[in-house]
Structure 1
Amino acid sequence: MNDTYPSGVGPATAAKDDEFLPPHAQDCLGCGPGNPHGHHLQARRSGEGVDAQHVFDKRHVGAPGIAHGGAVATVVDDLFGFLLYVVGELAVTRNLNVEYLAPVRLGVPYQCQAELAQRERRKLFMNARVKDQGGLVVVTARALFLTVDVAHFGDEGAATFDMLRRR
């Protein structure tokens, strides 16, 4: 584990399969329980990856009946953020590439999965996919995250990591 990662956050937080991982921040757009406009994504550790089930609702509409691509990208980016608990690093998104293979419908449960594909020093290469109930992959994504020190997040970030440490 990187020595810049705050004690008590990282692999120990995600020690057991099927346990929910903590939100990144109370007001996080992807997973924050305190954000009324957010997705409230909840992810679990699954081996060396993470998975989540998510339903896009009318707040996420793009075309009629279909989730906005930006809403889908937000969920995928946040899923990669949950993967950082398993990887044991603080990191930020450098690049996110999302391929929309089929419409993502509103009101339909989707299974979202992500895993670390490769690591090169500070670079974390990650892959994700979103599947419908029949197992059809409707979205794939690749991301490059760069590891950072806790100082990158400023005082507010330090307070968030302190809160996570106390869980």
Structure 2
Amino acid sequence: MKRQVNSRMCFVCGVENPIGLRLVFEEEGKQVWAEFTPREEHQGFPGILHGGLTGTLLDEVMGRCLMAGGEERWMLSAKLEVRYRKPIPIGEPLTVMGEVVQDRGRLVETRGEIRLSDGCLAAQAKGIYIQTPQEMREKMERELGDWQVWVG
């Protein structure tokens, strides 16, 4: 099991983002996961995690599968399909997991899931990620500077 790098200002993993979720991701092989406990400010309907945040968590964990094994792959979300299975309660620890299903080089298919503390499947997703165009990658690298942060 290996811990993945965080960033400074990413909404999901940014360690300096004052409104961020500050998740820490672990990997083994091509599988990535994180633990997260939604707080009151993350709710949509009373007591239930906002569906947009559910999608955000799944997009992030599936995208991080592309970095598993130390690869520096710059890819963008092209498609995200979320299936909401159960309401996700505020205050309950969750496990968010993702893995690569098929890698075609410039296009990668992934899957992800969120499980409640009792192991019940609460949400699942399929994602497609595409290679970032070279000019966009170069621009992002210039603007990001020293964005990677290792969390102890």
Report the TM-score range of the alignment, normalised by the length of the smaller protein: 0.7 to 0.9
The residue matched to 1:157 in structure 2 has which SS? helix
Q: Is the 8 A contact 2:107 2:130 kept in 1?
A: yes
Partner of 1:54: 36
Give the gaps of 5 or more residues in structure 1: 1-16
Partner of 1:3: none
Deviation of 1:26 after TM superposition, in Å, equals 1.2
Moved more, 144-153 or 112-121: 144-153
2:10 pairs with 1:21 = no
Partner of 1:120: 104
Relative to the length of structure 1, the TM-score reads 0.80
2:62 pairs with 1:80 = yes
Q: Structure 2: how far apart are the matches of 1:130 and 1:21?
A: 19
Relative to the length of structure 2, the TM-score reads 0.87
Quick one: which amino acid aligns to residue 46 of structure 1? E
2:142 pairs with 1:158 = yes
- Cα root mean square deviation, aligned: 2.3
2:138 pairs with 1:138 = no
Quick one: which amino acid aligns to residue 5 of structure 2? P
Structure 1's consecutive aligned runs of 4 or more residues displaced over 3 angstroms after TM superposition are 153-166
Q: Is the 8 A contact 1:90 1:147 kept in 2?
A: yes
Deviation string 1:57-108 (CA, Å, 9 cap, x unpaired) is: 1121100000000011111111123212116221010111111100011111
Sequence identity of aligned pairs in percent?
Answer: 23
The residue matched to 1:139 in structure 2 has which SS? strand
